[in-house]
Structure 1
Amino acid sequence: MPDHSPTAPFELALLATPEAVPELRRRLGAFDFDVQLCVTELLTNVLDHLGAGTPVTVRVTGTPYGRTRVEVTDPDARALPVLLAAADTAESGRGLALIDALARRWGVDQGPDHKTVWCELPGQEVMNMPGTVASTTAEAVPTW
């Protein structure tokens, strides 16, 4: 059952690395498991398709419809996510299927020099007020 306590918006600029995944989960501790899972899957997609060291910005905000919106922005507008049917024996390829199963909706917003993959989850209230941009150690990068 999701935690329905109000949570401030979250924004974090970092470099996508395998070590960043558990640290990001720790920082998202105030959010429910589904939010943490979606952020982890979207960050893992960046690692798998763009490589370690890719600068990303992770955001968790509320929507006017009472949903929780998860966004991961990266600098490659061309590498778009594709929902695949993974084989039973496949060791990867299920991330977007998980997001598709959990989210009310998901998609991609493209800019000229970046894309944002997002999903909206039911449940947890996120107060829409200006948040602060956090960073991870020396690997912080500016947001777009």
Structure 2
Amino acid sequence: MNHDNCVPRKGWEVPFQAAPREVPALRRIMRLHLTYWGLLGVLEDAQLCVTELATNVVKHVGLGAPAVLAVCMNGTKLHLEVQDPHADAVPTLDCAGTHDERGRGLALVDAMSERWGVRRTSAGKATWCELATTLTSPNGHVQDQRVSRADGLLSSYDAHVARFTGAGVAPLDQAAKGAASLIVDLLCWTQAHGLDPELLLEEAQESFEVASLGRHRCSLGVT
């Protein structure tokens, strides 16, 4: 399997109006896309950064201002930015005191991200940040020992089946633990590739029940 191009991650953007009620929706959108991209490891930090960047527009640009959330990959880093039409309202990183309620937004973004900044656009400005991932390529999957084991199994599965003779089988309890570990690895592999583990389990369960029913009918001599 080509691990460098197994999870295509095309950049996307969504327009919104600056308002507190929009923030939960932006967080949900981030969850959906990062789950699809197999990047759950940075999901919470990404949601927090989007929350602070969007809230910053509400506070310093104004309610109802048109804005855009844009997300893409910059190499192996997750790049996200919030664009607004006010180039002069440039956010700054303030040193908030212990009891200050203001000035903490960008401090959180600074803490969560590898780097952040502000750039001018033709329509205003964009406040952006980048989060590190465990990817080795923009369209690869996250580095996880369980995912790698499952990849190795899947790539050589047919060969293993062809060579299997039943000789030297481990005790049943040990084999059962190995089977459980394999299922966990496969679910991790599924999630890392932006797929739905619960859907995979449902499909596997349905296939298992169909296969079990077929074996039962054969044992009864039913055709």
Once residues 111 and 71 of structure 1 are traced to their aligned partners in structure 2, the CA distance between those partners, rounded to angstroms, is 12
Instruction: Call closer, same or farther: CA 1:14–1:124 in 2, change over 3 Å.
Output: farther
Tell me the residue number matched to 2:201: none
User: How far off is 1:121 after superposition?
Assistant: 0.5
Once residues 86 and 94 of structure 1 are traced to their aligned partners in structure 2, the CA distance between those partners, rounded to angstroms, is 6
Provide Cα deviations, 1:83-123, integer angstroms capped at 9, x if missing partner.
01111111121111111111111111113540000001001
1:81 partner SS: coil
Count of aligned pairs: 122
Bigger CA radius of gyration: 2
Tell me the residue number matched to 1:45: 56
Tell me the residue number matched to 2:29: 27
User: How far off is 1:124 after superposition?
Assistant: 6.6
Question: Which amino acid in 2 is paired with 1:35?
Answer: A
User: How far off is 1:27 after superposition?
Assistant: 1.3
Question: Which amino acid in 2 is paired with 1:27?
Answer: I
Q: Which runs of 5+ in 2 are unaligned?
A: 1-5, 35-42, 140-223
Instruction: State the Cα RMSD in Å.
Output: 1.9
1:109 partner SS: strand
Moved over 2 A (4+): 5-10, 124-127
Higher strand share: 1
2:31 partner SS: coil
Tell me the residue number matched to 1:141: none
From 60, 74, 78, the counterpart of 1:68? 78
Tell me the residue number matched to 1:122: 132
The alignment-based identity, stated in percent, is 42
From 89, 104, 120, the counterpart of 1:79? 89
Higher relative contact order (CA 8 A, sep 6+): 1
Contact 1:55 1:74 in 2 (8 A): yes
Higher helix share: 2
- 1:95-110 to structure 2, matched below 5 A, reads 95-110=105-120
Deviates more, 1:82-91 or 1:118-127: 118-127
Once residues 108 and 8 of structure 1 are traced to their aligned partners in structure 2, the CA distance between those partners, rounded to angstroms, is 23
Contact 1:77 1:112 in 2 (8 A): no
Q: Normalising by structure 1, what TM-score? A: 0.77
Once residues 92 and 124 of structure 1 are traced to their aligned partners in structure 2, the CA distance between those partners, rounded to angstroms, is 33
Contact 1:84 1:97 in 2 (8 A): yes
Question: Which amino acid in 2 is paired with 1:44?
Answer: T
Question: Which amino acid in 1 is paired with 2:77?
Answer: R
Once residues 34 and 124 of structure 1 are traced to their aligned partners in structure 2, the CA distance between those partners, rounded to angstroms, is 14
Once residues 52 and 83 of structure 2 are traced to their aligned partners in structure 1, the CA distance between those partners, rounded to angstroms, is 13
Q: Normalising by structure 2, what TM-score? A: 0.51
